[in-house]
Amino acid sequence: MADRAWDPIVTPWHLDERIPAFPIPATATEVVPPALPDGPVPARMSLLHRAAFDTVEQAARPLVLSGDCPTARAVVAGLQRRHYDVAVLWLDAHGDFNTPAISTSGYLGGMALAMLTGRTPGLFDDTLDLRPVPDTSVVLADSRDVDPAEGDALTTSQVRRVPADPAAITAALDQLGPVPVYLHLDIDVIDGAELPGARFPSGPGPSLAQIEDCLATACANAEVAAAYLACAWLPEHANDEAARQTMTRLTAALGADLAWHEPAANR
Tell me the per-residue pLDDT of 138-181, one tens digit each, with 9 for 90 and over: 999 999 999 999 999 999 999 999 999 999 999 999 999 899 99
User: What percentage of the chain reaches a pLDDT higher than 70?
Assistant: 97
Q: Is 120 contained in some domain? A: yes
Q: Tell me whether residue 166 is in a domain.
A: yes
Residues 6+ positions from 128 with CB-CB distance below 8 Å:
49, 50, 53, 73, 74, 77
Q: Is 260 a member of any domain?
A: no
Count of domains forming the chain: 1
Question: What's the CATH code of the domain at 37?
Answer: 3.40.800.10
- Helix, coil or strand: residue 181: strand
CA distance 141 to 149: 19
Mean pLDDT on 41-66: 97
The per-residue pLDDT for 1 is 52
* pLDDT recorded at residue 261: 77
The set of residues, in sequence order, having a beta carbon less than 8 Å from that of 74 and lying 6+ positions away, is 11, 49, 50, 52, 53, 56, 128
- Any domain includes 29: yes
Is 259 a member of any domain? Answer: no
Q: Is residue 265 part of a domain?
A: no
Give a yes or no: residue 245 inside a domain.
Answer: yes
**pLDDT over 50 (residue 118):** yes
3 state SS of 78: helix
| Bridging pattern class, strands 17-18 and 13-14 | antiparallel
**Which residues form the domain of 157?**
7-253
pTM: 0.95
Over residues 39-54, mean pLDDT: 97
pLDDT of residue 87: 98
C-alpha triplet 157, 100, 90: angle, nearest 5°: 45
Once rounded to an integer, what is the mean pLDDT over residues 3-15? 93
Residues 6+ apart with CB under 8 A from 80: 86, 129, 130, 131
Q: What is the pLDDT of residues 175-232, one digit of tens each?
A: 998 999 999 999 999 999 999 999 998 999 999 999 999 999 999 999 999 999 999 9
